[in-house]
Homo-oligomer: A and B are copies of this chain.
Amino acid sequence: MSSPERDFVSAHLDDLHADLDAWLRIPSISADPAHAPDVAASAEWLAAALRRTGFPVVEVWETAGAPAVYAEWSSADDGAPVALVYGHHDVQPVDPLELWEHPPFEPARVEGADGPELHARGAIDDKGNVAMHLLGMRAHLAATGRDTPAVIVKVLVEGEEESGSPHFAALLRERADRLRCDVVVVSDTGMAAPDVPSAVVAMRGLADAEITLRGPAVDLHSGSFGGGVPNPLHAMATLLASLHDEHGRVTLPGFYDRVRQLTDRERALMARVPFDEAAWLAGPAASRLATGEEGYSTLERIGARPTAEVNGMWGGYTGPGHKTIIPAEAHAKITFRLVADQRPADLADQVRGWVAANLPAGIQADVHVPAGGVSPCASDLDSPAMAALLAAIGQANDRDPADVLFTREGGSGPEADLVDVLGAPLVFLGAGLPTDRIHSPNERVLLPMLYRGAEAVAHLWRELASVPLPLR
């Protein structure tokens, strides 16, 4: 279905390509201190691009870590609602470099099965998702013939999301007055499939723990002590083997106590999301079978249920050949994904309780659960803001709003801080796909997704102005 917004976007794809091409060449890896100048350069690039787009107010906000970029464009309309776009301009590290088919910071156009792709670190996560707002805003103004947007648009693009957003909540609190808004539009996610327009309605929270088990005072000779004293590696294996029960449920005491159960409607809506489990398993997972918590579908397991994953485990001799020791220590790192209404602060006690209940005799445990963590968040499916979002996505994809599906993001981000500090409801508009290899080699964006995303942005600003306040 043609629209002025679509026409404008289609006529200006080269601008989007040029922007992305330039921005993706800046290796803004926030996790690596050596790339701090690149993260700063990325912020400056975005600030300039926002000014070029027409935002009257553009500022680079320094933090105790990497800089964020803020922009604001008021509306000439009295009482126009305020939308705050959230995204990030930093990117993941690129190791292992040898697995990239193209250098990660030299954007490469590749013809894929679903259309043209752009390969680069950050192509979708999150520079692609942010760049579509530049073209989207221009399309909104051009299509509506306005000089100012129909809603007040604020943009906040942080520089530390891939490092856990350590200074984001503080920034929000410090700038809360400037950031006041009626709705937050999160652009750091995606849709279920290229032909399945959808909106994320929840993100999982995150808490992490590190466990050190100690046995002997020093590494012992396994010939002299083997079979006679506790081995911390055996103890760690036993402990971690107890992390899940035979039903795939996490065994931390109280872990499920606050979990908001899925309603029948939510489960029915999730079941509408097309999900080719076989294809999903055959992708990076390369798995012959799905596993997890009994009684839930794979989509529910990865999006709507809390989980525990051991992310790292180490101890003893790891070099070539063998070394006959009983090591002094064993280590493990675990992260937990949380769903509404779990609280990250509850995890410390739960982890300690689990370790105490499952630690083999003769072994000492140090449990470190950092304060903080990420809260889970979820959108109201029936809010006016959600109605506007569904309308915008529907138009950009030639679908009825009722055909836009709801998905749940298994990952975690600082979005929960936006809810906590700003008190605004969230909606999610992103152009990513589950097959985009974010955080992995050969990250890509499917360019038609980005074009439709830019168009949806343009529709969204118009639609948001037309729904009744309050937006939540």
Contact = CB atoms under 8 A, between A and B. Distances in A.
A228 B292 contact: yes
Contact of A314 (B298, B314, B439): B314
Given A227-B309, A241-B238, A312-B327, A221 B317 contact: no
Nearest to A304: B227
Nearest to A442: B218
A411 interface: yes
Interface of A: 99, 164, 204, 206, 208, 210, 215-231, 233-234, 236-241, 243-244, 281, 284-293, 298, 301-302, 305-307, 309-318, 321-327, 330-333, 335, 337, 361-362, 409-412, 434, 438-441
Nearest to A282: B217
A99 B218 contact: yes
Contacts of A204: 223
A233 B281 CA distance: 18
A354 to B, nearest CB: 14
Nearest to A287: B229
A206 B302 contact: no
Contacts of A298: 228
Copies in the complex: 2
Contact of A412 (B223, B313, B409, B410): B223
A287 B229 CA distance: 7
Given A227-B309, A234-B241, 20 more contacts: A215-B285, A215-B287, A220-B285, A221-B411, A222-B309, A223-B410, A224-B410, A225-B410, A226-B410, A228-B285, A228-B298, A229-B285, A229-B291, A237-B238, A241-B241, A309-B324, A310-B316, A313-B314, A314-B314, A323-B333
A460 to B, nearest CB: 25
B315 A284 contact: no
B411 A223 contact: yes
A318 B208 CA distance: 13
Nearest to A335: B324
A322 B311 contact: yes
Contact of A434 (B206, B224, B318): B224
A158 to B, nearest CB: 18
A234 B224 contact: no
A337 B411 CA distance: 45
Nearest to A235: B241
Contacts of A316: 310-313, 333
A318 B329 CA distance: 14
A233 to B, nearest CB: 4
29 contacts: A204-B223, A206-B223, A217-B285, A218-B284, A221-B411, A222-B311, A225-B284, A225-B410, A226-B302, A226-B410, A227-B292, A227-B301, A227-B410, A228-B285, A228-B301, A229-B287, A233-B310, A234-B243, A237-B237, A237-B238, A291-B361, A311-B324, A311-B327, A312-B318, A314-B318, A316-B333, A317-B333, A322-B333, A324-B411
Best-surrounded residue of A210, A287, A326 (most CB of chain B within 10 A): A287
A336 to B, nearest CB: 9
A224 B362 contact: no
A332 B317 CA distance: 9
